[in-house]
Structure formats: structure tokens, C-alpha cells
Amino acid sequence: MESLKISNAWIVTQNHKRELIKGDILIEGGKISAVGDITDNADKTIDGTGCAVIPGLINLHTHISMTLMRGIADDVHLDAFLNKTFEVDGRRTREDVRLGTELGTVEMMKGGTTSFLDLYYFQDEMAKATEASGMRGFLGWAVLDEEFTTQKGNPVDNAARFISEHKNKERIYPLPAPQGVYVCNEETYTRTQELAEKENTLTHTHLSETRMEVYEHEKKYGKRPVHWLDDIGFISDRLIAAHCGWVTINEVRALANKGAKVAHCPVSNMKLATGGVAPLPEMFDNGVVVGLGTDGSSSNNGLDMFCEMKTCALLHKAHRWDATVLPAQKVLDMATIDGARALKMDDEIGSIEIGKKADLAIIDLNKANMIPAVRENIISHLVYSCQSNNVRDLLIDGQMTMRNRVLKTLDESDIKERAQAVGQRLIERE
């Protein structure tokens, strides 16, 4: 593998000191070997003048293949949204899921995202598309009670088979992912936890996303979802719980006590008007690690982590009547190093440090929306001003996957053409 040097850039390290350095990055063998003023030559040099280099962004909760369902049910109440989404989703084929994943990888890579955590079915098809893109995919096979699923066979067994077949693949991290307490009973969650412990994987689930979910579960079991899951042994340091918009302070403490992490999805929750706002300040005060996710494109309409960062900051400032809540640096942490911590990958990704994998995005600071860019405002620019089209180059494992906005691992035009045809068929069919 060729050595590579990125020269004369603003380096947003995201290390423990959160240092912002003007200098160079040397990449050898797919890893960062030096950061700072580097005089050594490399096989190839990329001029970073007028650019910022950031760790690749981490999308901590999505349903990437739902890109083909973008705009499927906008501006409707949640029940109407779910009915339409489930109806269309139920007639998608394996090929549709793979194509939706291909389109999602195009969108995410062009927006500076290098890693994502997904929850869906047909993850074997999604793994093929993810591998082709070069992205780092944490792929959660959707687990439900048999009475609620359209999968052939038992979903936990299907998840076990998927993990067994993909656990040794490069940049593919398989895991079991229960859909939620509304379709998963105690046995399903228990078997899932046993599988995760046996295979040493993460677990991922939707949790306390809506008021109805919480109240109906409490009515049925006499306990709120977090406490119920804790009592049956599912809350652990393996868990990344998506949403958590309807949790109490005692539930926050229960998550913290077991080391569970949270994927916050502000855009999706706001668009669907789920009402609850995840209590991030209280989560941080209690030591809960929180990352950012977009959710799927049917509810978010995009996979743009820059949009997610800005919305996250503004939502909590407005909600708390406090402009100091969630400063830009903390929000950037959520999209990078905290996402890596949630994935138990913070020793390998999430910051620009010697020995870590070279998952990097190069941001063009010369675009009109980023000017003036000086040391004092680069971090806030990344959260409040930056857009996906400001991402000039992308590297994953030291490999140039996008150069000057042109993807190197995928045929973007072909994917978009095929996705338009299939997506149109799915949406227009009566």
C-alpha cells in the first residue's frame, strides 16, 4: 500500500485534548503514522491548503437501504407514516435492499461519513454493497418475535447465521438488533443477548422513541421499557439504544449504570413529531455516551451528518432556552469520537492520532459558506456552516474512496440511474 501525506491542512484531531493543529498527516499501511510538521516524503501527497481534515463521521443509527423510500410519506401523522412505510417495505426484494444500500453509501461517503450502524433485514445483501463501497458497516440483523416478522425462519437464528458468515470480513461488523419492545418479548431479547455474548458483538435496538411505545409497554408490564429491559438482563455495555426520547432520569441512570450507549436522532424525531427530546445534558452528567444517527431516509429524508449535527445543537438550545447547551465541540464529538466509543472502536477510529485507522474527511474551507475560516471558528463552522458538498476527499483505511468529489469505489451515475427507476416503481405503485 502506498504511503500518503496530507500537507498544510487544519487538522481537527479530536484527541483527548481536542487539539487543532496546522500541519501534515502521514499515512502508512492504512494507518496514521505521524501528525504535525512532517518532513518525510511519501509516495503520494495531497495538498490540504485551505482545508480542514476531520475524522470520518460516524452515523450511529440508520436504515440505509430505505433511501429508495425517500419521500414515501411526508407531512403525515406517525400512524399514517408507519402504515405506508410498512406497506412499501413489505414488497421490497433482496435486490431492492441492496440497491438502496448502494445509494446510501454514495450519499454518506459524499457527506464525509466513513462508518455507520444499521438495523434492518437482508443484511447479507447490505454487506455486499457495503464491502463494495469500502465503508465500515456495523450491520444489525433485525430481530422480532416470529409472530410479527415476514422473515423465513426464526429471526434470532437468522441473525446468528448472518453473524457466523460475516464476522471475519474486513470492515463488516455483524450484530443482532431487536426491533423494539413492541415486537420483541422477553425470550427474544434474552436469546439475542445470549447470541451477542457468545459472538462478542454489540446489540442495537429502538428504545423509548414514542410516548405510545412507553405508555403501552408500561400498561402491559407495569414497567417502563428501560427498566423492563434492565430487569431481564438486556441493558449492558454492548447496547446502543436508538432514540431514548421518552426516558426519565432514573432510566438515564439505569443506562449509565450498565454502560449502555445512546444514538440520538434529532431530525427524524422532529419530522415525525414524536414529541420527546432525549435529555442529553442529563445523559452527559451521568456518563452516558451519546452518538448521532440520521435514522432512515423515509423519516429523515437524508443521511447527512452535517445536517444532523446542526439540528442537534439547535434543538437542545431551543428546548432548554439556553444557547450554551451543546456547544459545537460537543456535537462534533458525538459525530466522531463518541460514536467510536459507542461502537467500542475508539482505539481505532474517531480521532486523528498515531496508530489509528486513516478514516478521514477533507473539508474545503474555501467554499463561500465556510468563509472566513480561521483557527477560532473552524470547529463551529464544521457544525453550524458546513454542508455535505464541502467534503472534497474521503479516505477509509487509508484508501482514497473519494477524490475531488468523485467516488473511486462506486459508479455513482449507474447507481443513481438504477435507484431512480426502482424507487419510482415503489412509490408510484398503488
Q: What is the pLDDT along the chain (430 residues), one digit of tens a residue?
A: 899 999 999 999 999 999 999 999 999 999 999 999 999 889 999 999 999 999 999 999 999 999 999 988 899 988 888 888 888 887 888 999 999 999 999 999 999 999 999 999 999 999 999 999 999 999 999 999 989 888 888 999 999 999 999 999 999 999 999 999 999 999 999 999 999 999 999 999 999 999 999 999 999 999 999 999 999 999 999 999 999 999 999 999 999 999 999 999 999 999 999 999 999 999 999 999 999 999 999 999 999 999 999 999 999 999 999 999 999 999 999 999 999 999 999 999 999 999 999 999 999 999 999 999 999 999 999 999 999 999 999 999 999 999 999 999 999 999 999 999 999 988 887 5
CA–CA separation, 261 and 255 (whole Å): 7
CA–CA separation, 293 and 19 (whole Å): 25
The pTM of the full predicted model, rounded to 2 decimals, is 0.97
Mark whether 46 and 110 lie in a shared domain.
no
Task: Kindly give, in sequence order, each residue whose CB lies less than 8 Å from that of residue 397, ignoring residues fewer than 6 positions away.
Answer: 30, 134, 171, 357, 358, 359
**Which set of grid coordinates corresponds to residue 302?**
437524508
pLDDT at 92: 85
CA–CA separation, 226 and 203 (whole Å): 15
CA nearest neighbour of 385 among 322, 331, 336: 331
pLDDT at 123: 94
Containing structural domain, residue 42: 4-55+348-407
CATH number at residue 122: 3.20.20.140
CA–CA separation, 329 and 316 (whole Å): 14
CA–CA separation, 399 and 411 (whole Å): 17
Domain count for the chain, please give it. 2
**Which set of grid coordinates corresponds to residue 384?**
453550524
pLDDT at 194: 98
Asked whether 395 and 349 are in contact (CB, 8 A), the reply is: no
Mark whether 161 and 302 lie in a shared domain.
yes
pLDDT at 84: 85
Mark whether 238 and 373 lie in a shared domain.
no
Mark whether 26 and 41 lie in a shared domain.
yes
Mark whether 44 and 74 lie in a shared domain.
no
Render 303-332 in DSSP notation, one character per residue: --HHHHHHHHHHHHHHHHT-TTSS-HHHHH
Helices and strands, number each (H, E), in the chain = 15, 17
Q: Which of the 8 DSSP states describes residue 67?
A: G
CA 407-413-415 angle, to 5 degrees, is 90
Mark whether 76 and 94 lie in a shared domain.
yes
Residue 414 lies in a domain: no
CA–CA separation, 378 and 380 (whole Å): 6
pLDDT at 358: 98
CATH number at residue 28: 2.30.40.10
Asked whether 129 and 98 are in contact (CB, 8 A), the reply is: yes
Residue 417 lies in a domain: no
* Cis peptide bond upstream of 266, omega within 30: no
CA distances from 183 to 132, 172, 213, 326 (A): 33, 27, 11, 34
pLDDT at 88: 82
Mark whether 194 and 315 lie in a shared domain.
yes
Mark whether 67 and 38 lie in a shared domain.
no
pLDDT at 406: 98
pLDDT at 149: 84
Residue 9 CB neighbour total at 10 angstroms: 24
Q: Which of the 8 DSSP states describes residue 389?
A: G
Task: Kindly give, in sequence order, each residue whose CB lies less than 8 Å from that of residue 188, ignoring residues fewer than 6 positions away.
Answer: 143, 144, 145, 155, 156, 178
